[in-house]
Structure 1
Amino acid sequence: MAETGSAPREVRRAAVAGLVGSALEWYDFFLYGTAAALVFNTLFFPTFDPLVGTIAAFGTNAAGFLARPLGGAVFGHFGDRLGRKSMLVITLMIMGVSTFLIGVLPSYATLGVWAPVLLMALRIVQGIAVGGEWGGGVLIVSEHAPDHRRGFYSAWSQTGVGLGFVLCAAAYAVVQATTSTASFLAWGWRIPFLAGILLTVVGLVIRLRVMDTPAAQETAAAPKPPRMPLVEVLRTHPRAVLIAFGARIAENGALYIFLTFSLSYADTIGLDGGVVLAAVMVGMLCESFAMPAFGALSDRIGRRPVYLGGAVGVILWAYPFFAMFDSRNPVLVFVAVFVAVVLCHGAMIGTQPAFFTELFDSRVRYSGVALGHELASMVAGGFSPLVATALLAWAGASWPIALFLIGLGVVTVVAVAAAPETRRRHPEHRKEAAPACVQPQP
């Protein structure tokens, strides 16, 4: 069967657009989670006990994850019917404006109960935007990429996720280093949110220059494009949706424990939060460049072995991760984060774009990828810091959180083990019917 893919120049342009656009969009999304761990409990929930206030702050963070499937459904529908590019422009604009508005939102001391209400509303808008962005950001790269290098090229869209977190953490580190504690609580925390609007403009310029994918153009020009892609993907690809959902559970749930909850946990055990933030920044920066390596490895040996390696790693590293944190030794903390983020999480997220792309037919791919991805984000990513904080409050120790991580890993191992190997598929030439979408091409 003939090789698919766009011209090399367009592939590189799509990879850059995917990387930069996702970096800026996820910078905005990660800002909220970091602020929830550091300041929102004090500014928006001051009437609660500190630990309860942290739970409430993570609860508003979870609201954004609850909204992500809605964004995936809406933008997946129009992305399958009208193309990927226009949806990516719209979602980036929505994310940039909502992030800026969080930066100017008065606190509880000024607005009273309306402050947390408006905060949650803006977080929901963020969730809708990022829920629609991920699928399109991945497909704009993976559908341009040649078959034999789809894993490598599409992983660059995930590199943007890692760099987005690094930008977020760096912004907070600079602000904290240059302001007093009082100034940071009063106004310093707002600076990274306000800067997001400038970064959004940069992202828009880059995304407007990339062409839509050949698969999207072909579907949009077809005599009968799918009227209801979401309904069609559930009818023709139910197994693929479930596989994508299960594969995301450990990848997403563990990530937010490693990144967001770890900052709160450090404060609870008396560990310097600056050490953890630095460890997370280094880990995410290293992971950003490990992702394409894992994607390239999946081009050689298959998607399933690489993805399974990361999921098994989460299971094996759950207890050592918290044991190293409990030691309060900065070197061990760096090792704990590096292994968890770069090796365990990196193997999964670096393989995920190509793996999920190849599970679905191009007519309904945006909807299918977004649905499986965002449902898992809602269940695992949105609630994992909340569950971890509640478990810590209940047990006063980390062991139940480690068990929780192991449970997430088991779910993903089962899902990926049940998946077909997709590496040798040519997704633009597959049949529409469900049986064809679960059998690899010879």
Structure 2
Amino acid sequence: MKKNKRVLLASLSGSVIEWYDFYLYGTATGLVFTTLFFSNQDPAISVLLAFATFGIGYAARPVGSLIFGHYGDRIGRKAALMLTLIGMGGSSFLIGLLPTYGQIGLLAPILLVFLRLIQGISLGGEWGGAVLLATESAPKGKRGLFGSIPQLGVPLGLVAGSFSLTFIAYLTTDAQFLAWGWRIPFLFSAVLIVLALWIRGGVPETDAFQKQKDSGEIAKVPIAETFRYHRKSLFHVIGLKLGDGFFNVFLMSFVLVYATTYLDYSNEVALTALTIGCATMIITIPAIGYISDFIGRKIIYTTGLVLMFILAVPYFFLIEQSAAWLYYMQAGMLGVIWASIFATQGTLFSELFPAKVRYTGLSFGYQMAAAIVGFGPMLWAVMGDNYGSSPWVFGGFMMAGLAVSLVLSLFVPDTHKVSKYESDGIPASEQAEDSPHYDTEQQKVKKEKPLET
């Protein structure tokens, strides 16, 4: 039991810190970087340049999934996760030390962009590794619960990253905040990283990887084996993530712009609504993860997609009625419905790949989808300029993405009954989706040993 608690703490702590750093940058972009690092006579250009660097973090995430997925499948989950922490924490700490444009000129934004790239690459390897650290160490019958715990890093990291800058801004004058106050949350990353490294350092390698290593079945080039033997599962992950991914990016970030720019709500109302949604997620994510161990991941995931599809247009109609409706819908759509999808996502996706390529397949599929949905805010800004807050336009866009995921969900196996965790140790060629051995090997597993849930 003590080992299980430390594993969960290790997966959660690193995940929280990674997302804290990632969202801290996003909050600082509008408050600090547009003024101190992208000096331009036209404020609109400064804002555009600053938010372009924010998007670079999303674009870099697939690169990180390939790098750390490769090492995670060849060297070990634990080693890869230690590196992602150092990369994210180190880059955030250095951002806190960067000279501004007024001090070193053009070199300031160049260094900022470079460090943002490191952040994106590190995050691209963190998510999949954190999920595997939990799911591959889970006791029998608790994989869904364990897999949901690192997902808490997203709402906790977002709230912590936004709150830290807001808190410092409250304690300082505007001049003090721009002069040195904004640097404190970035520099504080060093303390958090040391703590997380200590926690993760005491966690052993996962049993699944250790068995793979002991058997000598280590992939030479994991991404090549993933495309060769498990490309169907890879594209399933990308497609399944796209639908909820667009809505997720809206609910957790663009809703602030949408509510204040197009619906004329105050910043306080918009931030409160987002905080309510995140607070609800902290309760629902582990609860849904626990339930998934009894009824399966697929049924919960599909139900969440269906509810999101049905409520896509009503959501946009209702949030423009009053602040109360904005609060209710953020709690329902983000805190309950999307949280149910996200709670099961890491476990479901990981169950589609064998241990040999699990880190790579899980991470690359997820981060490719994340890179695509990262362009959502750019598209919505254009839609808002042309159509205003039209519920039919915004809701229709969400429905189109969700329709893709719903169709693909019909073809995803029910991993509650048979998953690749039960077939660990079987050669990858015999687990390939187009292999004549695939079905027979799965049936052999079902007959010879009881299945975990």
Superposition TM-score, scaled by structure 2 size: 0.88
Residue type of the alignment partner of 2:300: V
Amino acid at match of 1:67: A
Residue pair 2:260, 2:270 contacting (<8 A) in 1 also: no
C-alpha contact 2:217 2:356 (8 A) present in aligned 1: no
Q: Choose from 14, 17, 20 the match for 2:13.
A: 20
Are residues 115 and 262 of structure 1, via their aligned partners in 2, closer, same or farther at CA, if it must alter by over 3 Å?
A: farther
Deviation of 1:358 (Å): 0.9
Match of 2:451 in 1: none
Quote the offset at 1:418 in angstroms. Answer: 2.0
1:273 maps to what in 2?
267
- 1:288 paired to 2:282: yes
Q: 1:111 Cα shift? A: 4.0
Instruction: Look up the equivalent residue of 2:279 and give its one-letter code.
Output: L
Tell me the residue number matched to 1:385: 377
Matched residue of 1:300: which SS? helix
Deviation at 1:196, TM superposition (A): 1.5
Structure 1: how far apart are the matches of 2:388 and 2:298? 37
- State the match for 2:327 in structure 1: 334
Q: Is the 8 A contact 2:349 2:362 kept in 1?
A: yes
CA–CA separation in structure 1 for the residues paired with 2:46 and 2:69? 35
Contact 1:159 1:289 (8 Å CA) reproduced: no
Given the alignment of the two structures, is residue 397 of structure 1 paired with residue 389 of structure 2, yes or no?
A: yes
Deviates more, 1:243-252 or 1:113-122: 113-122
Q: How many residues align?
A: 433
Match of 2:99 in 1: 106
Could you tell me which residue of structure 2 aligns to residue 192 of structure 1? Answer: 185
Matched, 1:84 2:77: yes
Per-residue deviation, 1:121: 1.5
Structure 1 residue 61: Cα displacement: 1.4
Q: 1:144, CA displacement in angstroms?
A: 0.9
> Aligned AA for 1:281?
T
Identity %: 36
CA–CA separation in structure 2 for the residues paired with 1:111 and 1:231: 43
User: Rg: which structure is higher?
Assistant: 2
Superposed, 1:144-223 pairs within 5 Å as 144-223=137-216
The 1:110–1:257 alpha-carbon spacing in structure 2 relative to 1, beyond 3 Å, is: farther
Contact 2:258 2:389 (8 Å CA) reproduced: no
* 2:142 counterpart SS class: helix
Whole-Å separation in 2 of the counterparts to 1:412 and 1:105? 42
Unaligned runs of 5+ in 2: 447-453
Structure 1 pair 285–276 and aligned structure 2 pair: CA distance change class (3 A): same
Task: Tell me: CA distance 1:404–1:103, structure 2 relative to 1, closer, same or farther (3 Å).
Answer: farther
**How far off is 1:78 after superposition?**
1.0
In the other structure, the counterpart of 1:370 is 363
Amino acid at match of 1:188: G
Give the corresponding residue for 2:432. 434
Shift of 1:117: 2.6
Please report the RMSD computed on the Cα atoms of aligned residues, expressed in angstroms.
Answer: 2.4
Give the TM-score normalised by the residue count of structure 1: 0.90
Q: CA deviation at 1:34?
A: 2.3
Which has the larger displacement, 235-244 or 410-419?
Answer: 410-419
Change (3 A) 1:67 1:258: same
1:304 maps to what in 2?
298
For 1:319, the aligned partner's letter is V
Distance 2:37 2:387 in 1: 26
283 and 127 in structure 1: CA distance in 2 versus 1, 3 angstrom threshold: same
Which one-letter code corresponds to 2:377 in the other structure? P
Superposition deviation, residue 294 in structure 1: 1.4
Change (3 A) 1:308 1:112: farther
Q: Which of residues 126, 129, 152 in structure 1 aligns to 2:122?
A: 129
Gaps of 5+ in 1: 1-7
8 Å CA contact 1:320, 1:336 repeated in 2: no
Task: Compute the displacement of 1:55 (Å).
Answer: 4.0
* Cα deviation code 1:74-104 (max 9, x no counterpart): 1111111111001111110110011112223
